[in-house]
């Protein structure tokens, strides 16, 4: 039986607390994320998608409920503490990488993520073959730019690097926050294909926000529909495979 990695129990988030305009964003939301899940998340603007990721990431405190990682309560852990088990790729290609460092140096930075800081040789050359092979899995020429400053990469290559950095140490949970939205359609599809391949081959656990319903249907083993701060539908396995575009559109009708 598949074990839960992360469980969100009765999560509530409020804005304008204590005022006449106090509003609930997430409303007693419950979500169980199992080992190996690749969950695509859709919902209209204001449904709570970004708030959900910010709650999981620890940069937005909750007002009620619990978060359990492997049955351990992490509700009060900080954003920094959660980087031990969590990584995130943002929509903006400029986030998540150091622009003045080379591709190889960024990957080395990701490899040492969470390790104790001390003075020692960085051993970049010893990892260069490993990093080059890893970059080649993105199928966009990134492996030929290992000594290039990240700020000089194309948007697609930089976002591919962000994804590799996020997955390098196999975190418990990966948050893909519309990570292809800023790319042109072709580059977006290439990165989505590479993303799907790596998640499936390495049996990673990931959640991906997307505004493209076609991508939500195509990728992942689960599809979650968020609406007004609650999970309106959670399609899994065969139910997701049978789901049609017409059926999914019904959840967006006013």
CATH code for the part of the protein at 1-85+171-254:
3.40.50.300
72-73 vs 4-15, strand pairing mode: unpaired
pLDDT digit string (tens) for 68-122?
999 999 999 999 999 999 999 999 988 889 999 999 999 999 988 755 555 445 6
The residues near 45 (Cβ < 8 Å, ≥ 6 apart) are none
20-34, 44-58, 70-84, 240-254: least confidently modelled range: 240-254
Token representation of residue 92: 């903006």
Average pLDDT over residues 169-176: 95
- What whole-number distance in Å separates Cα of residue 155 and Cα of residue 97? 12
- Quote the mean pLDDT of the chain: 92
Residue 236: pLDDT band with limits 50, 70, 90: very high
Is residue 252 predicted with pLDDT exceeding 90?
no
Is residue 235 predicted with pLDDT exceeding 90?
yes
Token representation of residue 219: 């990728």
The pLDDT value recorded for residue 116 is: 56
Percentage with pLDDT > 70 across the chain: 96
The pLDDT value recorded for residue 1 is: 63
Q: Could you give the residue range(s) of every CATH 3.40.50.300 domain in the chain?
A: 1-85+171-254
Residue 254: pLDDT band with limits 50, 70, 90: low
Q: Rounded to 5 degrees, what are φ and ψ at 67?
A: -120, 125
- What whole-number distance in Å separates Cα of residue 39 and Cα of residue 220? 6
The pLDDT value recorded for residue 119 is: 42
The pLDDT value recorded for residue 2 is: 74
The pLDDT value recorded for residue 32 is: 98
Average pLDDT over residues 3-24: 92
DSSP 3: P
* pTM score, whole prediction: 0.93
């Amino acid at each position: 039986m598949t074990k839960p990695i992360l469980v969100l129990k009765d999560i509530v988030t409020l804005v304008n607390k204590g005022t006449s305009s106090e509003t609930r964003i997430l409303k007693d939301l419950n979500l169980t994320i199992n080992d190996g899940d690749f969950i695509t998340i859709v919902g209209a603007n204001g449904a709570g998608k970004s708030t959900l990721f910010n709650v999981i990431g620890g940069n937005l405190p909750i007002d009620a409920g619990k978060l359990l990682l492997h049955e351990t309560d992490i509700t009060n852990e900080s954003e920094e503490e959660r980087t031990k088990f969590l990584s995130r790729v943002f929509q903006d290609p400029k986030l998540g990488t150091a622009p003045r460092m080379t591709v190889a140096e960024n990957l080395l930075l990701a490899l040492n993520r969470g390790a104790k800081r001390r003075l020692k040789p960085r051993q970049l050359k010893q990892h260069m073959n490993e990093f080059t092979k890893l970059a080649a899995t993105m199928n966009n020429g990134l492996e030929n730019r290992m000594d290039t400053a990240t700020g000089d990469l194309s948007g697609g290559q930089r976002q591919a690097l962000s994804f590799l950095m996020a997955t390098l140490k196999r975190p418990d949970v990966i948050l893909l926050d519309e990570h292809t939205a800023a790319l042109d359609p072709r580059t977006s599809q290439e990165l989505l294909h590479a993303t799907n391949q790596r998640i499936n081959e390495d049996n990673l656990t990931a959640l991906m926000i997307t505004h493209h319903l076609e991508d939500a249907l195509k990728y992942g083993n689960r599809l979650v529909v968020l609406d007004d701060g609650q999970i309106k539908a959670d399609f899994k396995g065969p139910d997701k495979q049978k789901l049609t575009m017409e059926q999914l559109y019904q959840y967006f009708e006013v």
